[in-house]
Amino acid sequence: MLAARGLRASFFVVGEALREHRALAERAHAEGHWIGNHTLTHPRPLGESGVEVREIEAAQAELRELAHPDRLFRPSGAGGDLAPGLLSSAAVESLTAGRFTCVLWNAVPGDWTDAGWVETALDQIAAQEWTLLVLHDVDGACADRLDEFLARVDAEIVQDFPPDCVPIARGAVTRPLDPYLR
């Protein structure tokens, strides 16, 4: 669906899932999609898991040559909330030392639980100047209605991240992280 529209996206993959679906990630990478780290096992929220550094480093090791040069990382939250516990001091130290770019979001339509996610996503996009929308490829999530969403969205879709959604860029903290730390 993305290729048919000439679109490129960013896929943040869970390391364990990559083991089973590596060929799909390799295809996405070859087609120009960006591949990033979304932890090894998807603990929610990451910053309260107690194994943050292992989750980040082990997933990055799984990515190998598929990893974006900026070492893109998206933490796992609890239901899409940008709340305390999303990150921890240990996770921040790992991300900065490893020169990662941490990517957050400003729109999560709940596609994994809500069949009406398309309308929610369109409303979220219309409500702000630049939207970083998170969709999921898990069973029962966005895939069934992705084509409809792409046909209806009235916004330019770009493969980039709004600065407000990047609190760590190539290892440098770019804005306060206190709202995400417990």
DSSP per position, 81-120: ---TTSB-HHHHHHHHHTT-EE---SB---TTT-TTHHHH
The 10s digit of each residue's pLDDT in 26-56 is 999 999 999 999 999 999 999 999 999 999 9
The 10s digit of each residue's pLDDT in 87-100 is 999 999 999 999 99
Q: Any idea what the CATH number is for the domain that residue 162 is in?
A: 3.20.20.370
pLDDT per residue rounded down to tens, the chain (182 residues)? 999 999 999 999 999 999 999 999 999 999 999 999 999 999 999 999 999 999 999 999 999 999 999 999 999 988 889 999 999 999 999 999 999 999 999 999 999 988 899 999 999 999 999 999 999 987 778 888 999 999 999 999 999 999 999 999 999 999 999 999 98
Domain count, the chain: 1
Say if 73 falls within a structural domain.
yes
pLDDT at position 58:
98
Say if 182 falls within a structural domain.
no
Q: How far apart are CA 150 and CA 45, in angstroms?
A: 29
Say if 160 falls within a structural domain.
yes
CB count within 10 Å of CB 61 equals 12
Say if 48 falls within a structural domain.
yes
Say if 136 falls within a structural domain.
yes
pLDDT at position 139:
75
Say if 13 falls within a structural domain.
yes
User: What pTM value is reported for the model?
Assistant: 0.96
Q: How far apart are CA 161 and CA 179, in angstroms?
A: 19
pLDDT at position 2:
94
Q: How far apart are CA 127 and CA 120, in angstroms?
A: 11
Contact at 8 Å (CB) between 67 and 58?
no
Say if 180 falls within a structural domain.
no
Enclosing domain of residue 133: 3-175
pLDDT at position 138:
79
pLDDT at position 85:
95
pLDDT at position 91:
98
pLDDT at position 114:
81
Say if 143 falls within a structural domain.
yes
Q: Which residues of 10-35 are buried (b: 16+ CB within 10 A; e: fewer)?
A: bbbbbbebbeeeeeebeebbeeebbb
> Cα-Cα-Cα-Cα dihedral of 174, 128, 157, 18, to 10°?
60
> Cα-Cα-Cα-Cα dihedral of 29, 58, 76, 72, to 10°?
-40
